[in-house]
Amino acid sequence: MFNRPGRRVRKQLKLLSDRLAEENPVLKGVVDPFRELDRVGYASGLLNPQDDSYAFTISWWPMIAVLGTFSSGKSTFINEYVGTTVQRSGSQAVDDKFTVISYGGSERVQELPGLALDGDPRFPFYRVSDEIERITDGGGRTVDHFLAMKTANSERLRGRILIDSPGFDADEQRATILQLTDHIIDLSDLVIVFFDARHPEPGAMRDTLEHLVNRVAERNDFNKLVFVLNQIDTTWREDNLEEVVSAWQRAVVRQGNATGRFYCMFNESAGVEIGDEQVRERYEEKSQRDRAEIHEKIQEISSSRSYRILGSLQAIAESIEMDALPALRRALERWRRRVFQIDAAMFAVIAVILGVIGYNTAGGFGPWMDGSAWASMGEHPIWTSTGIVVLVLVLAGLHFFNRRWVARRIARTLPTESAAGNWRAAFEKNTRPWRWMLRRAPLGLGRRKIGRLHALRDRAEAYIQRLNNQFVDARPVSRTGGRASAADVHRSAEQAQSDTVSESTGDAGQQVPAADTPGDANAERPEVR
């Protein structure tokens, strides 16, 4: 009963499954393996059945973060991409919050407070209020001070999320905004950084560059960072676009990233009038080509997110077996050893005290040796029985006190947050008073549960191969020998989902041969043109 998810978790997982069916059907069937993984977490104590699910720890929609200074063209780019006016734009800072933009069915753009993101595990800022409280040191600012949500009925938003940042030149919230930016970069599949060509001296933005470039360059996913030099039309009189790009490129390289691709764009409907026809044609061609490439990158990350979600499923299952299980075994072994040591010491002291009392009461050890003292105890059965019961209760009380005291000390050394879940809670579940101390395997992580983890990892590999089959050839060969239609591809995706679900009781242990995965949209080494 205690290993079943609570009503709230079941409701949220159903909402997640329903939304995936609407926006990203290829991933709908993956929710079920996460439910099975949750059962392992609940049984072991790594997850709280009332609030937690491993499905809540990842973002199910591809995320594109649009960062930069104010008036660098971020909002204009988003409005152009979405196809409607979602964000305000202007020459001054008009937004002081991170705005999460997702697909919605209403014909009008809907705006919701940041609380809508904090309380919904389907979105990437689930429970971000805890992080904001930590960053602001309890300054009284809520999630609504830093986050907002908007929905728009645009097919380009179906199955993905855009995040528009406030300008980094900002106000007293600057420190918090930069720290939240780090969090967003961690979550995002593609990070588009806008710079303003009207301010060609990048030296004034050195601290912003450090946050947007240096921090990312230290990790292994820095290739997801691309740079946009916007409003290049302002350079037409000098016709020195290459020099401006080179200045920004050198600034980025100095911060430790030599691979970021620089795109150049401007808004043709709102740009300055370019008097030279040849320069105008060259700038427009450059802007249109680079804009199309960015749109293509955004389109391609949907497939890479599908692979990342399946990779997360495998990583969580592996972390439970390879990280949490050995750590819990070591902690429980330390706990047993220390409890037994303290028990032995305390029982020895009690034995000495009882020996002294017996010696003084009987006038030496002789009466105990010849049996007369024992016979005397038999003459008073009530007092003798009461004394034995009291002694047993004292010894049991000391033992359970030791169990709890040692368990608390060891529990403080275990993390409460990890890929596998809450190690501390799992350890505390194993050290409850009614738990048999001599049992070696941690609760909920016996052979059967580990076998289930292996089966889930095999199912994820099988699902990855089916994703490969869909993405390797956009028009797979049909049964009749020709190229399949879109309906055939859709039926193939549905069949992959049903086959994957059925494998949980079938040949889940069969090893699936590895296949060459398609290139990640963010994995190429960008060049600077």
Q: List, for the chain, all residue ranges whose pLDDT scores fall below the cut of 70.
A: 1-3, 70-71, 90-95, 131, 134-142, 167-175, 197-222, 235-241, 251-260, 268-275, 362-380, 470-529
**Which residue, chain included where needed, has tokens 């820095």?**
222
For residue range 172-205, list pLDDT tens digits in order: 566 677 777 777 887 788 888 887 766 655 554 5
Question: Please, are residues 3 and 282 in contact by the beta-carbon 8 Å criterion?
Answer: no
Rounded to an integer, what distance in angstroms lies between the CA atom of residue 19 and that of residue 122?
Answer: 9
Rounded to an integer, what distance in angstroms lies between the CA atom of residue 59 and that of residue 54?
Answer: 11
User: Residue 463: its pLDDT value, please?
Assistant: 81
Question: Please, are residues 208 and 166 in contact by the beta-carbon 8 Å criterion?
Answer: no
Rounded to an integer, what distance in angstroms lies between the CA atom of residue 358 and that of residue 372?
Answer: 13
Residues 6+ apart with CB under 8 A from 64: 160, 161, 162, 163, 188, 189, 190, 191, 192, 298, 301
Mean of the per-residue pLDDT values for the chain?
75
Q: Note every long-range contact of 237-241, with CB atoms under 8 Å and residues 24 or more positions apart, other chains counting.
A: 237/275, 239/276, 239/279, 241/197, 241/283, 241/286
Q: Give the containing element (helix H, strand E) for 77.
A: helix 74-82
DSSP states of 456-489 as a string? HHHHHHHHHHHHHHHHH-SS-B-TTSSB--HHHH
Question: Please, are residues 29 and 500 in contact by the beta-carbon 8 Å criterion?
Answer: yes
For residue range 457-502, list pLDDT tens digits in order: 888 888 888 778 766 654 444 444 444 443 443 444 444 444 444 4
DSSP states of 269-289 as a string? TTS-----HHHHHHHHHHHHH
Record the pTM: 0.68
Rounded to an integer, what distance in angstroms lies between the CA atom of residue 481 and that of residue 49?
Answer: 50
Structure-block tokens of residue 161: 């999320």
Given its phi and psi angles, is residue 465 left (phi above 0), alpha (psi -120 to 50 degrees) or beta? alpha
User: Residue 135: its pLDDT value, please?
Assistant: 66
